[in-house]
């Protein structure tokens, strides 16, 4: 908990109402449990995010033959990892990020 952060009393009140409901009847306990499962925060997705989601779904080029070949190699325990290639890609990505941030 951060210093100065308001205390969330909803947790304590939910726990207390559940305890009282369990003592009252099983139906009341189920109602309290179902009440807790309902979302309490409205989430709104911006138009930009929706556009990115649609663009990503439409433009996803996946070579399913290659995916299946890798999947089969993993299942057969014949898939080999090339650590040098992974390291080189990581370094190239880091260089690219550094160049973008410095310009």
d(CA 61, CA 84): 26
Q: Each residue's pLDDT tens digit in the chain (103 positions)?
A: 456 555 555 554 444 544 554 455 667 666 666 666 666 788 888 888 888 777 666 656 788 999 999 999 999 999 999 999 999 999 999 999 999 888 7
- The pLDDT of residue 21 is 45
**3-class SS of residue 1:** coil
- The pLDDT of residue 38 is 61
pLDDT tens for 78-98 read 999 999 999 999 999 999 999
Determine whether 18 is exposed, middle or buried from the number of CB atoms within 10 Å of its CB (0-12, 13-18, 19+).
Answer: middle
- The pLDDT of residue 53 is 74
């Amino acid at each position: 908990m951060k210093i100065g952060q308001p205390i969330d009393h909803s947790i304590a009140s939910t726990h207390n109402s559940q305890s009282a409901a369990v003592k009252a009847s099983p139906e009341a306990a189920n109602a309290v449990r179902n009440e807790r499962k309902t979302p309490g925060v409205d989430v709104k997705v911006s138009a930009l995010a929706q556009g990115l989601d649609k663009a990503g779904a439409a433009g996803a080029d996946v070579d399913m033959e290659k995916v299946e070949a890798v999947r089969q190699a993993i299942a057969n325990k014949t898939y080999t990892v090339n650590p040098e290639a992974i390291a080189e890609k990581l370094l190239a990505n880091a260089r690219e990020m550094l160049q973008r941030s410095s310009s």
